[in-house]
Structure formats: structure tokens, C-alpha cells
Chains A and B, each alone.
Chain A
Amino acid sequence: MCMPCQLFAAVRTWLRPRTTAICRAVSRTAVPWLSILVLTATAIAQQESNDLSQASLEELTNIQVYSASKHMQSAIEAPSSVTVVTADEIQKYGYRNLADILRSVPGFYVTYDRDYTFVGVRGFGRLGDWNSRILVLIDGHRINNNVLGQAMLGNEFLVDVDMIERVEIVRGPSSSLYGASAFFAVINVITRTTKEVQDWELSFQTGSFGTNEGRATYGHQFNRLGVLLSGTFYDSQGQTLFFPEFNHPATNNGITSNTDFESYKHILATLTFQGFTLQGLFSTREKGVPTAYFGAVFNDPADLNIDTHQYVSLDYQHPLGKWQLDASTSYDQARLQGPVPEAPAVAGDPVVLSTYSFRGNWWTGEVKVSRELFERNRLTLGSEVRDNLRQDQGNLLSPPNMFSPEPNRSSITAFYVQDEYGITNRITLNAGVRYDHYSTFGGTANPRAAVIYRAAAKTTFKLLYGNAFRAPDAYETSPDFGVFYDDNLKLKPERIQSLEARVDQGLGQYFQLSGGVYRNRITDLISLVTIPADQNFQYQNAGSAQATGMDVELSGHATNGLQGKASFDYVNAYSDDAGHPQLDNSPRHMAKLNLNIPLVEQRLFAGVEGQFLGRRLTLQQNSLSSYQVFNVTLLGHAVGKHLDLSAGVFNVLDKKYFDPGRPEDPEDAIQQDGRNFRIKITGRF
């Protein structure tokens, strides 16, 4: 056979068994990317170069504009990697809660165990943790509770997603400004004000799994007083689920019904008067737990969690001479009641209901002043005090109905300073440090520095360095899960050191490219460890991990309203233990795509979303295969802007995919929802 023929035959032999795999790989990765490239190219091709110098004054006042996002502008100038998701995008992509929003953000991935939603950032999403390495704020108010440090993200989040004006997601360590929990990211949820809500808004949704949701909102700006009131209720029957781990006749052959129910209520009230803002929030959520975690009896609807969180906060902003003053104080209360039905000691006896609960109360006061010291130099000074009045955990054994909380309290005092200096026209230096003093473990100082270099009109380089910490939470220093758990009052905070380099480049008039590489070093990780002496469990600072990664995001919008973004993440996250094993629940690759197409100008929009998540390891070191999920939402405006109709289909391709189970789950992997839909109607009067 001739040489080229041999080569050709060899290639064909190699190719033949791999065609399916290649076809799959190409369609998985290439199609979303090709689609967005072709679409945006088409959109660009349709641009008539507008020569507005010929337009008359009247014509100019009639041109529809797509405002250059001032958030995008500020994101480019910020000393971190920032993503902003606006209310407009929330409606156009049909996001149902904060977790849906985070699913579309580069660097984030979400895990749901049919109870709470947990998030991983940049390759770190350790199973068993409580979202305590991200700080979630509502209008600048910290909502991570003070017992588990948990940030609520899914349906358990405290605010109706339709009351969100925008979400600012800052990736990277931000303890230099915010203190504890600002380890991997800070998520600031900014709620709508009377500027955005005019009088009445009523909304109703219905969807799969017997889900109904209703909202009533009233907003009005009286002469100087702004009033915003909103109430939401949600109720869902949930699904009948099958867990192969329980596939025995004794446990109903693995089928569980009426255990996936969920209901919640939110009330949000915001009053604004001159520089004052008074906000009150009440949220309660009940969720059935179908996974039979913590050794619970399978298929028992008594297995549930009730979370409540209420707060009142008062904020005052006013110029004070040359300084801008921002003072705030707030009081929070968070409760959990989590009954777990356990098999009785003697067969035939009634089920024993063991209820782990906690009660957290805390008070916060913060003062911040900032001013321009001299030209192009802005100084910010701040101080925060937090008194954890209650951090009680308890267990209610039924019978004999005794609740004995293990009381706990602590307090924190902090000072921080940040300076932003435009050294030259093109270079800005941003540096800050915060010192926190905890009554439990003492003090910790966390600095951050960033250099921002505007190389050209459309090119910005950033170099970012920062330290952050996560304070040990009450359930780690004094766990109250039973006699086999020991306290560890000597727990130190976890630390992260992060270095990141980024470039932001404007491409043409309609595109923006943002890319970065980063390296995170995490030390003093708090993990549950078995004490050799008495075989008890204890939380200790044991372990460290590293993550090196890169991300790239292309975003753009055409003047006809077509807009979208596509991102790709790669991260290698591993533990420093012998052999550098890969971390559990850590995907190496992620890709996301969002595309919004105006079908009928200003009236009908189609939002398409695709998310690809790479392989992850479960706790049992099994490999969960990668998956991609697509969502489509149609949003229509009728009667001017008075009526909105939205229809969304989630997991359009009905992909069967799994998230890893947590340590308390008997399941190594938990199947996620198949194709489901939601219809929403909103009226504005």
C-alpha cells in the first residue's frame, strides 16, 4: 500500500470507534458557541452605520438607546472581578431565585440536595459546608446567619427574585472591606426602590410539581417619604422521587411521595426619608427532606426544615462637610427547626422525632466615612461592631419534649481603611486593610491591593492580591449534634491568599472581552476529624488546598436589542494532602451561555441559557459525569408596560443529571429535576 494510503487507513481506523464521542463532544461544546457567533455576526451585519450628525433635534429625542451599562463601566474600574445581573436580565432569562442567577455567573456552580442550595466558587465547593465562604448581603446588610454561617441561595433566599433591582457579584477575597465570610465572593443583592416600582404590582406564577406563587407589591414616593411594601407566598407539592439506595420492600422500594414539598413567605418593607432608609424583612420557609438524611426514616413527611429570618435595619447617608457619611444599625433573628424522624429503638414503637434547632440573634452597627483627600484620591474609613447575642443550638427530643439549647454568644469589633489613588491618568492603585477582633479567637488583619492600568481607551489590565478569612462558626466551635461531638474553642479562622491578573478589552463598539488567571491558596481549613483517643468527632483546622484557574467571558449587545454573553472556566483545585487528590465536588471545566433575542421589538423576547458543568468527584470518589442544561424563557410585554407574560422551560432537553450528595445524605448522588416549566403573569397599575 502507498504511504499516504497507509496513513489514511490508520487515521480512519483511529477515527471509527471515536466518531460518536467526537460528534457528542463537538455538539456539546461547538453548538452553543457557533450559535452565538453566527447570531451576533448576523446582528452586526445588520448594523447600518448611523450618521447621527444628520439627524434633527427632534429625531435625536426619538432614538431608542441601550444605555451603556454604568455597572459595566464601574465593573471595569473595580479592584476585583465583578459581574452584575440586572432586574431586566432576571425577567428575560426567567430566573426563579438567587441560585438560578448564580448558575449563569462565571466561576460559580450550584449544588442542590433537595433541601438547600449550595454554591461552589472557582473549583471549591466542599460537600458538607454551608455557603459560609461567600458573603451575601441585601442592600449591604449581611444575611449569613451566626450559627452555621449559612447564606441562603435557592428558594430559601430571603427576598423574592422579582424584588431584586440588581445583584453585584464580586469574585475574590474581600475581607479587607467586609470581614468574615468574604472568602471567595461577595454577593450584594440590591432591592428595588420606589423609583422602579410605581404603585401596584401583582404577580402570579404556576408551574410544574404543583407550584404556585403570588406577589403583591406597593411602592410610592410621597413628597419626601418613599414607601415600598411587598409580600410573596409560594407553595409547591414537589415530586414523587426514586432513590435507588432505598430500593428494598422495607423502604417502599425507594419511592418517596409527599416529602419534597416546599412553601415560603416573604415580607419586605422599605421606607426612605431624606437620607434615611428603614428596612424590615420577614422570611419563613418550610421544605420537606426526601433524602432521609442523618439516618432518618425513609419516606416520612415529618422530615423537614423550617428556616426563618427576620431583620430590621436603619441606614443613614449624608455628606458631613467634605466627608460622605454612611451609618447603619440592624438587628437580625434567625431560627432553624429541623425535625428528623428516627427509627425507634424497639420495633413497633412510634418513630422518634429528633429536632436539631438553632436560634441566632445579632445586632450590628457600622459607620463609614469617605472623601476625596486630594485630586484623584479617595479615602474610606470604617468601623463595624457585631454582637452575637444568641448563637444557641439545641435538640428537641420528642418524647419527652425537652429543648435544652446550648447557649453561646460572641462579639466582633472591626476597623477598616481603603484608599483609591489615581497615580497617573492611566494607573489606579487601590489598597485596603481590615482588622477584625473576635471575642472567641482574637484578631485577624486582612489586606488587599489592586493595580488597575488603563492601557488604551478600551483596554484595562488589573493585578489583584488579597487575603480573606472565614471565622469558625458556632456549630464548629461547639457542635451540638450529640455526645460524640467535642467542642474546640481553640479553632482559628480559615485563610485564603489570592493573586489574580485580569484584562478587559472592548472589541469594536458592541463587544467586551474579559479574561483572567488566578491562584488561590487556602489554609487552616476547618474539617471534621476523628480524635484517635476517644473516637469522638471534632472540628479542627486540618487541611489546606490550592486552586489555579482561568476564566474568559465575551459579552455583547447589538443596538437591535440582541444581547448575550458566553464564558468558559478552567480550574485545577486540589488538596495539599499526600498525592494532591482532586477536591470533591470540583469541576475542572465550566461553560455558560446567555442569549437574549428580541423577537418582536420591545414586546417579545426569547432568553436562552446553556450551562455546561464538567465531571466532579462525589464523597465516595465516584465520578459524576459532566452535563449541560438549557433553559428557554419567553417574555412578552402587553398593554404598554402594564402587563408582563412569561413562559419558561427549564432543562429543555430533559437531561438526566446528578449533583453529589453531602456527608449526611445516604445518597452518593442526587438526581436533579428533568424538564419543567413555569408561567408567570405580572400586572402593573
Chain B
Amino acid sequence: MQIAHRSPAKVEGRARFCRVPWLLGVVLLLLASTRAQSPTAGEYQVKAAFLYNFAKFVEWPPSSFSNASAPLQICIFGRDPFGDGLRALTADKTVNGRRFEIDTVVDLQHARTCHILFIASSVPIPVKQIVEALGGANVLTVGDTKGFAEQGGMISFVLENDRVQFEVNRKTAEQAGLKISSKLLSVAKLVIG
């Protein structure tokens, strides 16, 4: 392998004017001042608002509450994606005179006393197992993955065109003793059963 002679000269790139990067910054600043038009929000902000609405449009049997002033429990199973969003949204709200309580559960046996159970996408347990573990309890199961409702869950969130939609499995909800208002069903993207 022949190695050709190399010149030992020092090599430098030419420095560019000071001004141009500043110009770029100013242009970007101007561009940024254009305001966005349509309503936008974080994905889990919207899902938190949906959970609040599910509480409004679903009827639980009176036996699922210990008394008239018992709070409505929303439980989160798996990695909590809401941050403070869900707590902040429901902090001072009531539904049928009941305040909200947000909890996290680590095992499904404790979830039987929840009214709404949100199953995060991080949970690897198959839907069938979740349904079995909750069998008989009046818990509205909400899942974050497509197909959750088809596989036995009650409501699944679906992202379509960057918008949050939801699917409802009316049959499994009825089997759990829950009554879903037709208002909620009419807005659902898909109703099963």
C-alpha cells in the first residue's frame, strides 16, 4: 500500500460574518409570533377530560357507593400518564353531589372498589385477565389501546387524525351493572353490542 506524501500545512475553515446567525434568529422570532388557530391540547389533558365526562354520563348501581356522599373513585393502573392533569381537572368538581378521588392501584383486587379504572398502555396484562379479575365488580374499565373494547374492556381511547376518539363496548358495561347514557354512545366512534 503506497502512502502518498501529505502537505503538513495547517488547515482552517473560513469564519463567516457575525451578522447572518443574528438575522436567522430575528427571522425565527418573527415566524414564531404567528398564532395557531384551532383548539389544541395535550393528549392526556383531553383524555382526563373524557374520564371526567364518563363519570357524568355513566350510572353506577347505588350499591357501589358506601353512602350518598362517598366520592367517585377514578383509579389508574400502570404508569400514570396524566401527571397532575386529572387531579387538577377534577379537584373542585362534583357529579351528582359526589366529589372525585384519584388513586393509583398496583393490583387488580384493590381495583374492585374503583368506579372508573384507567388501564395505562404500559400494562402488559391481557385484557381478558383484567376482565376476569374484576368479574362482578361495578367498575368502568377504560383502556388506552385500540382493541381494548373489542377484547372485553368497556371504553377504549383511539387516536385518529391527531384527535382522541373512543369506542364503547355496551355489552360488557351492562354485564358489570353499569348504564351508559345514550348521549355518550352517540359521540362514540364505535359501539359494540
Contacts and interface: CB of A to CB of B under 8 A. Distances in A.
B32 A64 contact: no
A60 B46 contact: yes
A61 B164 CA distance: 6
A481 interface: yes
Interface string B99-117: 0000000110000000000
A295 B5 CA distance: 10
B173 interface: no
Contact of A64 (B2, B39, B81): B39
A399 interface: no
Given A65-B163, A67-B159, A599 B31 contact: yes
A42 B162 contact: no
Interface in A117-136: none
B132 interface: no
A457 B53 contact: no
B121 to A, nearest CB: 7
A57 B183 contact: yes
Contacts of B24: 31, 35, 608, 630
B162 A53 contact: no
A529 interface: no
Contact of B11 (A58, A598, A669): A669
A457 B45 contact: no
A429 interface: no
B7 A244 contact: yes
Contacts of A52: 41, 45-46, 48-49, 89
B137 to A, nearest CB: 20
Interface stretch (A200-208, A439-447, A494-502, A615-623): A615-623
A505 to B, nearest CB: 13
8 contacts: A31-B25, A35-B29, A52-B41, A63-B41, A65-B41, A65-B162, A653-B21, A663-B3
Contacts of B46: 52, 60, 63, 65
Interface range for A: 35 or more
A27 B13 contact: no
Interface in B18-56: 18, 20-22, 24-25, 28-29, 31-46, 48-50, 52-53
B162 to A, nearest CB: 5
Given A27-B22, A53-B89, A68-B44, A60 B53 contact: yes
B43 A66 contact: yes
Given A342-B2, A378-B124, A653-B20, 10 more contacts: A64-B41, A65-B41, A244-B7, A559-B42, A608-B24, A622-B10, A630-B21, A655-B16, A656-B14, A666-B6
A468 to B, nearest CB: 28
A559 B11 contact: no
Nearest to A621: B8
Given A23-B18, A601-B38, A657-B13, A73 B81 contact: yes
Nearest to B8: A620
A578 B13 CA distance: 31
B42 to A, nearest CB: 6
Nearest to A562: B32
B93 interface: yes
Interface in A53-111: 53, 55, 57-68, 70, 73, 77
Q: List 3 tightest A-B contacts by C-beta distance, closest first.
A: A295-B2, A560-B36, A666-B4
Interface range for B: 35 or more
Nearest to B3: A295
Most A-side CB within 10 Å, residue of B3, B32, B44: B32
Contact of A55 (B7, B49, B163): B49
Nearest to B125: A372
A6 interface: no
A276 interface: no
Contacts of A554: none
Contact of B124 (A28, A59, A372): A372
A82 to B, nearest CB: 16
A339 B32 CA distance: 52
A618 B10 CA distance: 10
A482 interface: yes
A61 B165 contact: yes
B171 interface: no
A207 to B, nearest CB: 22
A625 interface: yes
A633 B187 CA distance: 39
A643 interface: no
Contact of B32 (A34, A42, A620, A663): A42
Contacts of A32: 21, 25
B18 A27 contact: yes
